[in-house]
Amino acid sequence: MTAKLNPPQPEPSLDSLPYWESLKAGVFALQRCTACREWQFPPLDTCRHCAGSLSLQTVSGRGTIYTFIINHRPSAPGFDELLPYPVALVAPEEAPHLHIPGRIVGAANEDIAIGRSVMAEVVDHPGGEWKVPVFRIIAT
């Protein structure tokens, strides 16, 4: 019998805790500056453009695949049964200069391509209390 291993868990900082709490509530939201209106990711304490204060704003979840890999090697416990599986950086439509990491789900690996449209879903992260975004390819 082999013990089921769990993947590393998110360890929210003071700055990223609202992002993780939002995901836990099933809401995909990103930081936006209340002064200059720039979006940013990953979460920080102040805006990296103007040092203004930030708020968390719900986004549509729509985006495009900026780049991706097909992971063929065991690298994170809890996901080995999915091998080979895709991991992408996704550019949200509201903030295409940002790149959000996440697995691509529900698609054959050969159907994944840079530039394809995706929709975010919030799913349980195995082995803990947190949720993470994953992305599903959608028709455009």
Could you say whether residue 95 binds Zn ion (CB under 5 A)? no
Closest distance of CB 23 from Zn ion, Å:
23
Total residues in contact with Zn ion, by rule CB under 5 A? 8
Closest distance of CB 17 from Zn ion, Å:
20
- Of 5, 36, 10, 34, give the one whose Cα is nearest residue 21: 10
Could you say whether residue 78 binds Zn ion (CB under 5 A)? no
Could you say whether residue 52 binds Zn ion (CB under 5 A)? yes
The residue within the footprint of Zn ion, chosen from 17, 36, 44, 113 (CB under 5 A), is 36
The residue within the footprint of Zn ion, chosen from 23, 30, 33, 95 (CB under 5 A), is 33
Cβ neighbors of 44 (< 8 A, separation 6 or more) are 15, 31, 54
Phi first, then psi, for residue 135 (nearest 5°) are -130, 135
Judged by CB under 5 A, the stretch of 6-14, 39-47, 57-65, 117-125 that binds Zn ion is: 39-47
- Let me know: does 92 contact 62? Beta carbons within 8 Å: yes
The strand pair at 29-33 and 62-71 is best described as: unpaired
Q: What gap in Å lies between CA 93 and CA 112, rounded to an integer?
A: 18
Give the interface with Zn ion as residue ranges (CB under 5 A): 33, 35-36, 38, 47, 49-50, 52
